[in-house]
Amino acid sequence: MEKTISVIVLSYNVENHLHNAIDSVLRAIDEKFSDYEIIISDGGSSDKTMKIANKLASENKKIKVVRNKNIGMGYSYLNGVEKASMNYVTMFPGDNENSGFYFGKTLERVGEADIIVPYTTNQNVRQLHRKLISDGFVIFMNFLFNMKLKYYNGNCVYRTKDIRKLKIRSKDFAYNAEILIRLIKAGHDFVEIGIKIKPSHKTAIFKLNNIIGVLKTVLLLFYDVNIKNSIGGLLFN
């Protein structure tokens, strides 16, 4: 498969960071791929994010802009996947809080397996409660689905055609965990790569509606995978 990549930059009110995020993505891509595109998938920003995104797109024909409703990270990601035209797809946060250097290290592994799964090696840079919840989520998911993954929420790289074969229910923070489990249970191979992250003080995931959304996704996924034994379906219908 030809090495081409679609990078979905998930953006929501990131007017002060979007330029740097795009620069990070461009440096990470470098000359690793025969072709690429950057899809800025906005989740209903109310600041100048869309104005900046459209300006960036006007300056670089490889950049596209997708405007979404303010429904959730998973919703914006899946709409980005729908617009993707390259063979592989991944994401990068529009607030530039991930390490562009280690994002590049992840992209270097593309082609080694169907899925490239980065995991965090420096969890100590997170606030203690975030580290405990992140570690607990990994243990919980591995137990429920008989997996041995080190992390579920990284900037995974997938084959675009593989995601499009799935029916993804999640519109929230759990979208990546759902994609990973469905694809791995369907027999797709993967490699894990250790990366380091920047210190972060994000708290959005701890909002009640986000917690409820994640729990709903996990319960429905458990029903599909472990009870119905159903993995696939159509993603966009």
pLDDT digits (tens, 9 = 90+) for 112-162: 999 999 999 887 777 777 788 888 999 999 999 999 999 999 999 999 999
Q: How far is CA 59 from the centre of its chain?
A: 25
Domain ranges across the chain:
4-227
CA–CA distance, 28 with 89 (Å, rounded to integer): 14
Instruction: State the CB neighbour count (10 A cutoff) for residue 44.
Output: 16
CA distance 151 to 147: 11
Residue 21 contacts residue 95 (beta carbons within 8 Å)? yes
Instruction: Determine the pLDDT at residue 202.
Output: 61
Q: Which of 14-28, 68-82, 136-150, 193-207 shows the lowest mean pLDDT across its residues?
A: 193-207
d(CA 170, CA 4): 26
pLDDT band at 11 (very low <50, low <70, confident <90, very high): very high
Q: What mean pLDDT value characterizes the chain?
A: 90
Q: Which tens digits make up the pLDDT trace of 38-57?
A: 999 999 999 999 999 999 99
Helix (H) and strand (E) counts in the chain: 8, 7
Kindly indicate the confidence band of residue 210, based on its pLDDT and cuts at 50, 70 and 90: confident
Specify whether domain 4-227 bears CATH 3.10.50.40.
Answer: no
pLDDT surpassing 60 at residue 237? no
Contacts (Cβ under 8 Å, ≥6 apart) of 221: 145, 169, 170, 177, 178, 181, 182
How much is the pLDDT for 134?
83
